[in-house]
Structure 1
Amino acid sequence: MSSQHFYPIGTPGQAWGAAERAAWLARQRKQRSYADDVVSVLERLRGTFDVTGYGALDYGVEHYPLLAVRSRDWREDLPVLLVTGGVHGYETSGVHGALQFLQQHGGDYAGRANLLVVPCVSPWAYERIHRWNPEALDPNRNFRKHSPAGESAALVDLLEPLRDRVLMHIDLHETTDSDESEFRPALASRDGKPFEPGEVPDGFYLVDDTDQPQPEFQQFVIEAVAKVTHIADADARGEIIGAPLLMPGVIKFPVKEWSLCAGITNARYATTTEVYPDSPRATPQQCNDAQVAAVRAAIEYALDHRVD
């Protein structure tokens, strides 16, 4: 398939250079507003939480403040519960699920833990409903020190002082039909590789850490989400997105090796959610509700199984 044009930019078999990246960037269009959808919501939460900046991104004439939400009663003797969303800007329920969690349940853990929520890691991509940043980099392969992706570098720096204090980290994502129609073909073209079509799972699933698996934790979250929306089945090979199924609705990746968001800290309990918003069996609100259910279950399990 490497000799066939499966993406409108690039030459099959050749990795992109500056011209191809510029052509890709020229195709991107702003479709929604980070200021209206995210920043305005966080402004309304200032009466309840500490909303602080942890940097900013400047892309051309566009300026994006990066915002984090912290418990107002932050205490050094309490564990940290970390929620991240919008690492991939097109994964809408990751952003809106994090915001909904803050609005509905953010105050539930006062005195028990410190809550830290970053609802939209990639604001430029959120506005363009895209996976990459303007430099055609995937933030979720670049969460490491001195990262080439500004979104990733800023979050790594924010979390560096907390690496060993984070008890639980849940990173909110989606798997969409556009993964197969746009994003995986673009990735193959960018890297000069052949595109091998895959299968998009219908339903919710989780990604555990190969190097520090927590199967009971993952199962607890899956059972909570199953009350809100359906859990993805394995395909005919017994896999989800090419990874073997560990248990219903759970696969695993080497998250630190791949520089994924869920591996930034040394959290004992870490997971990545994957919601399927294109399912005929799920509404956008259900997708947000599934993310909220996952966050609440992850927190509940972590606090109940805390080891000091």
Structure 2
Amino acid sequence: MDNTTVYPIGTLGQPWGDAEHLAWRNQTTIKRQYQDEVVPKILALAAQFDVSQYGALSYDTARYPLYCIKSRNWDAAKPTVLITGGVHGYETSGVHGALKFMATRAAEYQDAFNIIAAPCVSPWGYETINRWNPNALDPNRSFYENSPAEESASLIQLVATLGEVLVHFDLHETTDTDESEFRPALCARDGKEYEPDVIPDGFYTVADTLNPQNEFQAAIIQSVEQVTHIAPPDDNGNIIGAPVEQHGVIYYPMVELGLCGGVTQCVYGTTTEVYPDSPSVTDEECNDAQVAAIVGGLDFVLRQPR
């Protein structure tokens, strides 16, 4: 690939300045409606759960309220489960998979756990089908103190109210556009050379390097295998450049990279990665894979001695 033509904004080898950031933002467009596709599903759950607003994005506070969905009769004696979706707004099943779990399966687990879901952390990204926020910041590299990404900062503030979190599911997708758009844009923004990689064909999870919980990850993989296929390693034994540690599982240092998966000090944590561009899966099967991941993980945790 000719890296001089990878991305149309910026100059090869030079990080973006204000003009390039503005040019990037100006080429974004609204492609779908958060208020039509997501908010009604959230509010409909108020019949079963406590639904509340934990913030709003300053880009348009009326258009982009941030909601969470919580178990009723929250009990400090129960362990807490956090589900996050749409940290990357363009990863559709992260949003709708979280909502489907809450609508169809969460009630089964409320006797054992407090459950809280933030199903669409980045609604501007959802609408524009973008990995970044309007300031060309990646919310999923911005989970740290004094975060410059308000999507991340708002979720950090919410998590601070929860006390200890035992389990965290952060629901994501890896899409073909990661290579055709988002990684080239990242390299252009940072003035780096773009080196193409391979998009994995199938589902996988990302565990925390410092606390991988391999049996927990395996239980998730086994559950998801009932819904969709698991990504094999590439010719180098990697998935997205990271060594495959066990079937369908790679490790990332969550806190070091500012990932949402490091926003709690949970015992059991996973970042799910659905592959929606496979010709063998439907959008609903992608949502079902996210639900299966949560169910498999929670069933595993319930089997552990306490």
TM-score using structure 1 length: 0.97
- Alpha-carbon deviation of 1:199? 0.3
Deviation at 1:303, TM superposition (A): 2.6
Map of 2:239 onto structure 1: 240
Q: Is the 8 A contact 1:167 1:302 kept in 2?
A: no
> AA paired with 1:158?
L
Q: Which amino acid aligns with 1:17?
A: G
Q: Check whether the contact 1:73–1:111 (CA below 8 A) recurs between aligned residues.
A: no
* RMSD (CA atoms): 1.4
Task: Measure how far apart 1:146 and its partner are.
Answer: 1.3
Q: 1:190 to 1:62 in 2, by over 3 A?
A: farther
Matching residue of 2:282 = 283
Give the equivalent residue in structure 1 for 2:71: 71
Equivalent residue of 2:167, what SS? Answer: strand
Cross-structure match for 2:304: 305
**Paired-residue identity, %:** 54
Query: Are 2:170 and 2:272, in contact at CA under 8 Å, matched by a contact in 1?
Result: yes
For the residues of structure 1 that align with 2:227 and 2:3, how far apart are their CA atoms?
44
For the structure 1 residues 197 and 11, does the alpha-carbon distance in structure 2 shift closer, same or farther, using more than 3 Å as the test? same
More divergent stretch after superposition (104-113 vs 182-191): 104-113
Q: Distance in 2 between matches of 1:288 and 1:32?
A: 18
Deviation string, structure 1 residues 218-247 (Cα, Å, up to 9, x no partner): 001100100110000000000000000011
Post-superposition CA distance 1:108-152 (Å, at most 9, x none): 122211000010000000001110000000000001121000000
- Pick which of 277-286 and 7-16 moved more: 277-286
Deviation by residue 1:90-124 (Cα, 9 ceiling, x = unmatched): 10000010111111012112221100001000000
Matched residue of 2:160: which SS? helix
Aligned partners of 1:105 and 1:61: how far apart in 2?
31
Q: Once the 2 structures are TM-superposed, how far is the Cα of residue 296 of structure 1 from its aligned partner? A: 0.9
Which segments of 5 or more consecutive residues in structure 2 lack a partner in the other structure? none
CA distance in 2, matches of 1:192, 1:2: 15
Find the aligned partners of 2:3 and 2:75 in 1 and give their Cα distance.
58
- Asked if 1 retains the 8 angstrom alpha-carbon contact of 2:56 and 2:62, the reply is no
Given that residues 54 and 154 in structure 2 are in contact (C-alpha distance below 8 angstroms), is that contact kept between their aligned partners in structure 1?
Answer: yes
Aligned partners of 1:224 and 1:297 also within 8 Å: yes
Check the 8 A contact 1:84/1:119 in 2, yes or no: yes
- Alpha-carbon distance in 2 for matches of 1:122, 1:234: 30
1:56 aligns with 2:56: yes
Deviation at 1:2, TM superposition (A): 9.0
Q: Does residue 228 of structure 2 align to residue 229 of structure 1?
A: yes
Q: Residues 86-235 of structure 1: matches in 2 within 5 Å? A: 86-163=86-163, 165-235=164-234
Q: In 2, Cα distance between the equivalents of 1:211 and 1:61? A: 37
Distance 2:61 2:78 in 1: 41
Q: CA deviation at 1:62?
A: 6.1
The residue that corresponds to 1:47 in the other structure is 47
Between stretches 248-257 and 51-60, larger displacement belongs to 51-60
Runs of 4+ in 1 over 6 A off after TM superposition: none
Name the amino acid aligned to 1:9.
I
Q: Distance in 2 between matches of 1:302 and 1:55?
A: 31
Structure 2 CA distance for partners of 1:43 and 1:232, relative to 1, 3 Å: same
1:299 positional shift: 1.4
| Deviation (angstroms), 1:5 | 2.9
Q: CA contact under 8 A between 2:57 and 2:65: conserved in structure 1?
A: yes
Deviation of 1:63 after TM superposition, in Å, equals 3.4
Contact 2:3–2:194, Cα closer than 8 Å, also in 1: no
Gaps of 5+ in 1: none
Task: State the number of aligned residues.
Answer: 306
| Inter-partner Cα distance in structure 1 for 2:97 and 2:136 | 26
Residue identity opposite 1:225 in structure 2: V
Relative to 1, partners in 2 of residues 1:193 and 1:102: Cα closer, same or farther, differing over 3 Å?
A: same
Residue 33 of structure 2 is matched in structure 1 by 33
Q: TM-score, normalised by structure 2?
A: 0.97
What's the offset of the Cα at 1:61? Answer: 7.8
Contact 2:208–2:270 (Cα < 8 Å) also in 1:
yes
* Cα contact 1:185–1:195 (8 A) shared by 2: yes
Shift, 1:297, TM fit = 1.0
Report how far residue 300 of structure 1 moved: 1.5
Shift of 1:60: 5.4
